[in-house]
Amino acid sequence: MSETLSPAPLSTRLKAETAAQHQLLDNEISGRNLFGSAQGYRDFVRLQYRFHRDLDPVYRDTRLEAFIPDLQSRNRFAHITQDMKDLGLDIPRQDTPNGPDFFTRLQTETAIGWLYVAEGSKLGANILDKLAQNLGYSADFGARHLAPDPAGRGPSWLAFRNMLDDTAIDPEACIDGARDAFAHMARYLAEQ
Ligand code: HEM
Q: What is the DSSP code (8-state) at residue 75?
A: -
17 and 175 in contact (C-beta within 8 Å)?
A: yes
How far is it, in rounded angstroms, from Cα 14 to Cα 80? 26
Ranges of H-type helices in 64-107:
71-74, 77-86
In whole angstroms, give the CA distance from residue 136 to residue 32.
19
Is the pLDDT reported for residue 6 higher than 90?
Answer: no
pLDDT of residue 1: 52
Cα–Cα distance measured from residue 124 to residue 28, given in angstroms and rounded to the nearest whole number: 14
The amino acid present at 54, given as its one-letter code, is D
> What single DSSP character describes residue 94?
P
Across the range 24-34, mean pLDDT stands at: 97
All structural domains of the chain with their residue ranges: 11-191
Cα 156 to ligand 1 centre (Å): 15
Which residue's CA is the closest to the ligand 1 atom numbered 14?
123
pLDDT, tens only, 55-111: 999 999 999 999 999 999 999 999 999 999 999 999 999 888 777 789 989 999 999
Whether the predicted pLDDT of 5 surpasses 90: no
* 153 within 8 A of 122, measured Cβ to Cβ: yes
Using CA positions, which residue lies closest to atom 10 of ligand 1?
A: 124
Q: Indicate which atom in ligand 1 lies nearest the CA of residue 18.
A: 35
For residue 163, the CA-to-ligand 1 centroid distance in Å is 19
CA 39 centroid distance within chain: 22
- Domain 11-191: which topology? Heme Oxygenase; Chain A (1.20.910)
- The predicted structure's pLDDT at residue 192: 84
State the Cα torsion 95-97-100-104 to the nearest 10°.
-130
